[in-house]
Structures are given as C-alpha cells and as structure tokens.
Amino acid sequence: MKVFSPSSFSFFISLLSIFGVRFTNANTSQPERDLADFILRNYSTNYRPVHDPRTTVYVQVLPTIYGIVDLDELRESITYMIWQQYTWTDEMLQWENRSNQTWPDLEFDKFELIYIPVSLIWVPDVVVFNVLEKKDIIDRNQVIAKVYKNGTITAEFPQVLDTRCTFDISEFPFDTQNCTMTYGSWSLPSNEIFVTTTVNELTDLSGLVLHNHPEWDVIAMSSNNRNAAYLEDASTNATGERFSELDITLTIQRKPAYYIYVLIVPTFVISLINTIGLFSTKRERDDKVTMGLTTLLTMAIILTIVTNEVPKSQLGLPLLGDYVLFEILISSAGIIVTNPMNEKHQEILDMLRMHLLRVEKHSESKRQRWILEDQWARVLMNVDLIMMILFIIGNVIGTLLIIFSK
C-alpha cells in the first residue's frame, strides 16, 4: 500500500535544494569563499583524504526515514523514502590552526564551518548492498556538504530505496518483521574505510522516523558491525581482504485491526451460526447438509484470500491460515456428527412407535403414551443442545488458543 508519492516529494526536495543553494551562495561572504578556495587548492577527489595511508577513515551512517512508501509481502521488499546522512573526517580540508600564507589578514579560526558542494570533495563510496532499486531525489552533485574547521564533513542524500526484506509470516496478521539495510564500501577494505553508526545509542525514534504507515508501526532500530570476507579464489577457497559492513535493522509491527474485523470476526461468526444450525432439532437433514457445505465453501474462499495476502513459505500456513483451517475442521466435524445423530433420532422414534403400540394393546389409557412420547422428544432435544454447546465451547477455546498462542 503506497502512502507517499515519490514524484511529489522529489519536486518538493528539489525546490528546497535550489533555494538552499541560492541562499547559501547569496549569503556567502568573500572571506568564506577565499577560505574555500584556499583549502581546495591542490585537492583531489580521487584519493582518500588522509596524510598517512595507514589511517582509517571512519564513516558514520545515520538514516532518517521520511516514511515507508510501500511494503510488498509477496515480493518480499520494502520501499523507504529516506535521508542518508554520512559523516566522516577529511584531513585535507582542515583549517583549524593552519597558517595562511596567501591571505595573512584572514583569520581562519573564526569560521566554524563552511558549505561546499559534494562534487568538489572526496565522498566515501558507501552504498546499500541489498538494494533492489535506488532513486536519488536530487542529483548528488547538487548536495551541499557541511565542512567544519576540524575536517568533519556531514552530507545528506535524500533517496527512495527499495530493499530486500525477508518476511516471517508464521504469525500473520500479528507479526513483527525485521528489515535490514546493509551498508559498506563498494571497493575499499575495512582498514581504509570503516562504517559505523549511532543508531544503537538512540532511544527515541521520533527523529529517525518522521511519518507513520497506516498498516505498520516502527518499534525499534538496531545496528550490527562486522568484517566480511569474500572469496577471492573459488577454486582454492582463499579469502581476500575484509570489508566493513554495517547492518541497520528496522523492526516493524503490523497493525492487525483490519484483518481482525474483515477476516477473523466474520469467520468466527459464520462458524458459530453453522454450529447452531447443524444442531437445531427443527431442521431437516438435507437442510443441515446444505448449510454445512455452504459454510465449508465460504471458509475455503477465506483461506484462499489469506494465502494470496502472504508469500509462499515452506514453514506452512500463517497464523490466520491455521485459524481458518481450524474453523473448516470444526464445521466438517459438525456435519459428520450431525448425520449419524439424525439416523439415531429416526431409529429411536421408530422404536418409540413400536413400544407405544405395545403399550396401547395393554392399556386403554392414552395418557401414558403421550407421556412417553414427550419424554423421548425431550431427550433427543437435550442431546442436540449438549452437542451444540460442546462444539461452541470447543470453537471458542480453539480460537483463543490459536490467536493468543504467539
């Protein structure tokens, strides 16, 4: 279910970007431009910005989710509208305590930060590995980075990301899913670029998730760092260099109200009415069978709807599918039990008539015959009532056990 329109949001962000660039350029003083020209002299965007080649560049990733655009259970994918914030240190762009030979009258230290387009500086090649499709809301060359005097750089890239998310549908529709975005450098090993985050240090997600989804709630975000080694030579199983990878996991919980009111409650009511009808003493046998088969057909249709809502899994049916299957078994058992009971009813009535004929031969009073007939009728009615109560109790207990078993 789509909530946000990427095209309209892209237009909005583009306007902000254009006006932001104009505002920055219009308010940039000549000393700031001189400072930018000074620190960018002899600067190369092709090499890691470190003085010592053995120095590791630490890239801090902090994703801000504007909203969940779409979540496709059948395709097992989730689409975010996201702002990727990258923070790293560029030793070549430090001006703190640096001497200025070109402009000796310019005091660099009075500038805490300046704004420089990312197209003019080195940017770490950190990407999301498990992405299915990526769309930059604004062109990367239009992104303006904040450059602080100690060399710390912060840049935000607004994107629409469609990533792989493996679903566990065993508890559907009361399920909780974990969708992971795996970050890492595309080409540089972990001793040159190491990816980190501060997600685990945050307890309030209101700043990281800006808009709620009508069907899903974001309940947690967590991260995990690891050094991954990939096969360099498949024939010898030799591993190459290790690469820094960062997993940021978004834990989302489904809002089950829709499925409760549309599928679970109607299924329970249909099964309940079917049970009452099957054990009603005033219905003919053919009517009961017809009603039972109609109920089974309805349950089969509901089960088809459930299976079409979730991906196929070798683990079996989801929780909602188990519940519908349980109601099918209850209805089938009611039909099976009802038919022999109807046969027994008829046998008992035939025996009652023969007994009444014998009583009539030995007694001129019809009152005794009427009493016997009324007693047997009450017995038969009580048997149906007892079976109906037992089936209803079993249905309620089974429903509660299945729904609350997880």
pLDDT per residue rounded down to tens, the chain (406 residues)? 445 554 554 444 444 444 344 334 444 567 788 888 888 988 999 999 999 999 999 999 999 999 999 999 888 999 999 999 999 999 999 987 665 555 555 667 788 999 999 999 999 999 999 999 999 999 988 999 999 999 999 999 999 999 999 988 888 899 999 999 999 999 999 999 999 998 876 666 777 787 888 899 998 899 999 998 876 654 555 557 889 999 999 999 999 998 999 889 999 999 998 888 888 766 565 677 777 788 888 888 888 888 787 777 666 778 888 899 999 999 888 888 776 555 545 555 555 555 555 555 455 455 555 665 566 566 666 677 888 889 999 999 998 988 887 6
Asked if 86 and 154 touch (Cβ cutoff 8 Å), the reply is: yes
The count of other CB atoms within 10 Å of the CB of residue 49 is: 21
Indicate the DSSP class of residue 209: B
Q: Is 42 left (phi over 0), alpha (psi -120 to 50) or beta?
A: left
Question: How is residue 166 written in tokens?
Answer: 């493996």
365 burial level (CB within 10 Å; 0-12, 13-18, 19+): exposed
The architecture of the domain spanning 6-255 is Distorted Sandwich (2.70)
**Which one, of 231, 143, 220, 140, lies nearest residue 179 by Cα?**
220
Give this prediction's pTM: 0.76
Enumerate helices (H) and strands (E) in the chain, giving the number of each: 7, 11
Residue 93 exposure: Cα atoms within 13 Å on the Cβ side = 30
Residue 323, SS3? helix
Indicate the DSSP class of residue 104: T
Amino acid at position 64, single letter: T
Report the alpha-carbon distance of residue 88 to residue 146 in Å, rounded: 11
Measured N-to-C along each axis, helices 285-309 and 265-278 cross at an angle, to the nearest 10 degrees, of 160
Tokens 């020209």 belong to 37
Amino acid at position 15, single letter: L
**CA angle at residue 129 from 125 to 135, to 5 degrees?**
75
Asked if 252 and 216 touch (Cβ cutoff 8 Å), the reply is: yes
Task: Return the beta strands (E) in 73-130 as ranges.
Answer: 77-89, 113-117, 126-128
Q: How far is CA 222 from the centre of its chain?
A: 15
For domain 258-403, the question of CATH label 3.20.20.70 is answered with no
Q: At residue 285, what are phi and psi to the nearest 5 degrees?
A: -60, -45
**Which one, of 49, 53, 124, lies nearest residue 91 by Cα?**
49
Domain residue ranges of the chain, discontinuous segments joined by +: 6-255, 258-403
Report the alpha-carbon distance of residue 101 to residue 91 in Å, rounded: 19
Report the alpha-carbon distance of residue 62 to residue 248 in Å, rounded: 9
